[in-house]
Every structure is written in C-alpha cells, then in structure tokens.
Chains A and B, each alone.
Chain A
Amino acid sequence: MNSRDQILAAVKKNQPALQPLPALADLQAIRFTHPVEKFTEVLTSIGADVRTGYDLNAIATFIDGNFTEGRRFLGNIPGLPGVGSLDSTVDTHTLEDLEVFVLKAGFGVAENGAVWVTDAQVQERVLPFICQHLVVILDPATIVNNMHEAYERIGNQDYHFGLFIAGPSKTADIEQSLVLGAHGPKTMTLFLNGGI
C-alpha cells in the first residue's frame, strides 16, 4: 500500500463518528453603525495612511510628491497620470526597483482594516509585495462589517490567487519592537474614493 492509501485508511479507521458542522448563520457577528469610520480607524491603527477627498489627479500629485526615491511607478488604474501599467513580458525579478504599486481593491472589511485583492487586479502576484510603497484605491461603499460578510461576498469567486492585505508589511521579531517594512512595502496609503 502506498503512503496515500495508508494515510487515508488510518484516518478512516481512526476518525470519530461524524459530528455536525455548525451553521455560520447562527453566529451573531459584530456590525458597525459607521463601517467606513471603523475601517479607517482600524487600518490607521495598524500602520496605514487612510485618505479621503482625492480624485485621480490629486492621487497622482500625492504619489509624485511623496515617493521620490525611485521613479518606477506601476499600477492598473486607467487614467492615473505618471503611473504605467506592467508590460506583460517583463521578468518580475527585475522589479526590485519598483517604488510604488497602485491597485484598486475589491472591497474592504471594517473589523480588521483588510482589503480583498485577486490576481485579476494585480496582473503579477508579486507586485503588491515587491514594491517599496503600496497605494490602494477603495470604494467606501464596498466596505463590509466583518469577515463572514467578506466571504459571503467572495462566494465562489474563481480567482487563482486571492489576498487580504491589512497595512504595510511589518515585523516585531527583534525584541517586539514594531518595524514597518519587513520584506514587503514600507508604507500603505489607501484612498477612499467611490468614483474611480
């Protein structure tokens, strides 16, 4: 018997009598009177910069004025000045000088400040990680209360790679001192705008 069959046989023999799966509908999960405010509060508390009142031009000006170290900006927002889209033939290993990546997230989650992104929105999966600074545009009307609503919204969406992002990459491995910018972006700026 190969290992697969051996493991499956042992599991079948040793697993207890079938226990029912609890219904998630019974769980009274937290809801917020002002989900957008809650989302902003939580995401800010975990190190992101949340901004409102920026249109495309204002976002472009912000990016241009704040991220000056490298000059390579990529994104997938049509009509965002100064930000190119990724050439599909580019080798992702040459992206280490990517200063800013701009993406539009699918929706946000108020309870934890996370935004949902799939490979359809990022072209190359490594882009939101390899950039030095991440810029996210989110429609505030998409913000759900909690993770149960988030997965209801995701449903059986057919993504190849899906991702919740909540703030800049970080670590506290050295004596529990929080440092923003471990391996991924050092900052995350999120613009709440329903018109982009």
Chain B
Amino acid sequence: MGTSTTTHASLSEQFNADEARVNWHDETLWWVRQKRDKAAWTLPEWEELRETASRIKHNTLSNLHQYLLSFEEKALANGCTVHWAANAAEHNEIVLNILRDQKIDQLVKSKSMLTEECHLNEYLAANGIDVTDTDLGERIVQLAKEAPSHIVLPCIHKKKEEIGELFHEHLGTPAGNADPLFLTRAARAHLREKFLTRRVAITGVNFAVAETGEFVVCTNEGNADMGAHLADVHIACMGIEKLIPERKHLGVFLRLLARSATGQPITTYSSHFVKPRPGQQLHIILVDNGRSTQLGREDFRNSLKCIRCGACMNTCPVYRRSGGHSYHTAIAGPIGSILAPNLDMKKYADLPFASTLCGSCSNVCPVKIDIHNQLYQWRQEITRAGYAPAGKAAAMKAMAMGLSKPGWYRLGGKIARRMMRAIPFLFNNRLNAWYKQREMPAPPKETFADWYRKNKNQSNQ
C-alpha cells in the first residue's frame, strides 16, 4: 500500500506538485468555511438547531424500518413508482430498465452523490446511454473526464483558464476566454438545448419525508427543476438514510444545509416533489448499498446522519491541502473517509489515516456527527483487520515499545538529538516524510524532563 499510486498520500503528492494551486485551493475553501461561520452566527439558536437536527436523525435511524414503509406507502399513493436497490449494481440496472422501457438513450442529470457512489454514468455510457450532467461544476468535470472533487463544489480543483480551454474544445467558445460570466452564459445556452430535448431527467434527493411521501431537492442553479419539469420521466435516486420523519422537520434541515455548505441563508430553490405532473412518470429508487450494514455498526452508525453539506471538507486542513481526488472515492474529505471503509475496508484503508484528528469537522457538522472519533475508531478496526499500511504498523509498534519503556525513550531521545546535530543529513532527506515541504526543527538543547528537574529544584529552594 505504501508504494501504490492510489493512496491518499501518493495522490496528495501529485496535487501538491503545483504549490500555487494548492494555496489557492486551501484559501478558497477556508473562505467558504468563514462564510459558513458568519451565516451560523446570525442565528442565536444555531447550536440548539444542530442538536435538534442530530436528534431527529437519531430518531430516524432508530425507526428507519417504519419510516421506509410509510414513505413507500405515501409515495405510491401519490402516484410515484418506488424501486428498491440492495446495491449499486441493482440501482444502475433499475435506471437502465426504465430507460429501455421508454426506448430512450439520452438524458439529463442533476447532482446526485449517490449516482457517483454507484458509478451510474460509466455504467450507462457502457450501455450506450448519453448522460449530460447539468450542474455547471459537474458538467465541467464531465467534459474533463474527471470525477467531482467536492460534493458541493464539484470543480473547485479547476482554474478558470482550464475551464475556458475545455469550453473552447467542447462548446466552441473563443480560445483564451476564461471569464466566469461569459463561460457560465455559454454553458447556459448549451444546457438549455439539452433540457428542452431530453425526455428523462435524473435527480438526487436531499430529504425525503416519511409522513407525506414527498422529497426535496435543493439547488442554486435550478438545473434539477429544469430537467425534471421538462421531462416525461423523472427518476429520483436516494440512499435510504435520506428520510426524515415529518414535513415540519424540513424547517430544521433547510435552515442548516445551505448555511453549513456555502454560508447562504437557503439555496435558491428548495423543490418539494409530491406527485408527478399529469402524464409524467416519477420513479423513486431507494438504495441501500451498505447503509443497512453501517446502521448495525454502533461506532459508525452516526455517519448515516450526514446531509452532504460539505462543511467538514471546507474546514479540514488535510482536505484543503490535498484536494478531493486524493481520497479516490465519490465522497471525499472527513465524512467520505468514514463512509468509504464501510463499503470496502481494504481498498479505503488509507483514508481514516488522512486526518490530523483535529476535530474541526465534528465542530462544524450540522448534524453533530463525531467524525474525528469515527476516523480514530476506523484506524483501530483497520489495524485489527490487518489492513494498516505496513510502514505505519511497524512505526506504531516501535513507538509503542519506546513510549512504554521510559529508559528506552530517554536513551532514544538522547541519541536522536545528538545525531540531528552531528549528522543532520540523516534526518533532512527525502526518506523522512516529515521533511517534505518543510524544515526539521532545531533539536532542543535539553529535554523537558531535564528542564523540569532543574526548575523544580530551583522553586523548592
């Protein structure tokens, strides 16, 4: 694992090759985090709101069986078709079957992290279906043949000049034009043509209400609505954890979502879909894909409370400096690092280690998921299962030995301090991961133990 090119560490190194870009990425996401803070501070009840949301989700998870049944019953009564998918493959097959029934080979899709998780686009492409992602950021990464690097800001890793080049190549905009307003207008014209001609629209789901069978989709661009309201068939894909008990609970979550995500008081559109339009088909696909397993893991269950706001990514010192693609999974950042090992502990064994455990993610989470604790707990699970990186496991054993034997610790420290002074090259070389992008600190003249002994004696005199 240590030498593989698909670990968080090695992928981060690629991202870090361009220092100016990393700095821009870091500062931009921190700016979004600050906007979140300002929005949160406008509400004196913010902490109470987070607590309420967390408890509503706790209730939801504890009664999910009943809520799923209720949602299905109401959605059917509303005239929707409800499908159940145990895993990603089944989800993708259901979508393809709906398309085949309609004899349709092209569609528009708005943002859905679930379909990213299921790799729906690749599957549909392999089956001859043309998918147009309609969220601007998602369209940009789709044209670049990349995955989104952030769940709310899909192309935050891209500079406008690169987007200008992509649009020049694919949409025929003039070469060298990288003006955001101009490029957005070009995408608007390009995607309007798609909205007006596609008969099937896929959307995600932000919240689904067990009480009423309705679901809510939040966007700023209006792309989910343009797609769904112009299409003959609307397919809404949702994880089973998207449920909330009652309509009035939407008030709690809509107050938290956009403020946490971008610092907006609410997204431009919060669309409540209850019944299909006359003559329209509305399909809802309820997807498990590991969620019922996660529900049974007490230590990790709370991760299912996530409302996909991205606040944990924007605040994360590791995410901001390593980029979303370094997480090699659909959902990057701290929350992705506790969701992914549930799906494949071996493949994503590196992710819970891609953290400083500083806890900032848990502090901003609108539903109070204890993200940093779960990262720590995944490390224990992964190490127990034997999937920890070999180098890390060996280093941990050596550390454990040194730290548990004070004599060895003192001797080791003494040797290391002398060597650092006498032969700095031993430490200041590329084999030392701590030497990358920074200088090693000067070795201290004395240890804390020495200093304490000396000063303790002084104060006693």
User: Chain A: residues with CB nearer than 8 A to chain B?
Assistant: 2-4, 6-8, 10-22, 24, 27-30, 42, 46, 92-93, 96, 109, 111-114, 124-126, 129-130, 146-148, 150-152, 154, 156, 159-177, 179, 181-185
Contacts and interface: CB of A to CB of B under 8 A. Distances in A.
B226 A183 contact: yes
Contacts of B214: 162
Contact of A11 (B250, B266, B295): B295
Contacts of B28: 175-176
B269 A164 contact: yes
B243 to A, nearest CB: 11
B226 A171 contact: no
A143 to B, nearest CB: 14
B61 A184 contact: no
Given A24-B52, A169-B221, A15 B44 contact: no
Looking at A22, A159, A165, A177, the one whose CB has the most chain B CB atoms below 10 A away is: A22
- Main SS class of interface, A: loop
A168 B62 contact: no
A93 B273 CA distance: 20
A125 B90 CA distance: 31
Interface size range on B against A: 35 or more
Contact of B65 (A3, A12, A92, A175): A12
Interface of B: 28, 31-32, 42-45, 48-49, 51-52, 55-56, 58-59, 61-65, 68-69, 84-86, 90, 134-137, 140, 153-156, 159-160, 163, 180-181, 183-185, 188, 191-192, 195-197, 212, 214, 220-223, 225-226, 228-230, 240, 245, 247-252, 254-255, 262, 264-275, 277, 286, 288, 292-293, 295-296, 298, 301
A129 B226 CA distance: 6
B251 A4 contact: no
B220 A182 contact: yes
22 contacts: A4-B84, A8-B69, A15-B64, A19-B59, A20-B55, A24-B248, A24-B251, A27-B49, A46-B264, A93-B230, A111-B255, A112-B265, A126-B229, A129-B222, A159-B274, A161-B277, A162-B274, A163-B270, A169-B220, A170-B221, A172-B262, A182-B136
A171 B301 CA distance: 34
- Main SS class of interface, B: helix
Contacts of B85: 3
A148 to B, nearest CB: 5
A126 B195 CA distance: 11
Contacts of B137: 171, 173
Nearest to A163: B271
Contact of A22 (B55, B181, B184, B196): B55
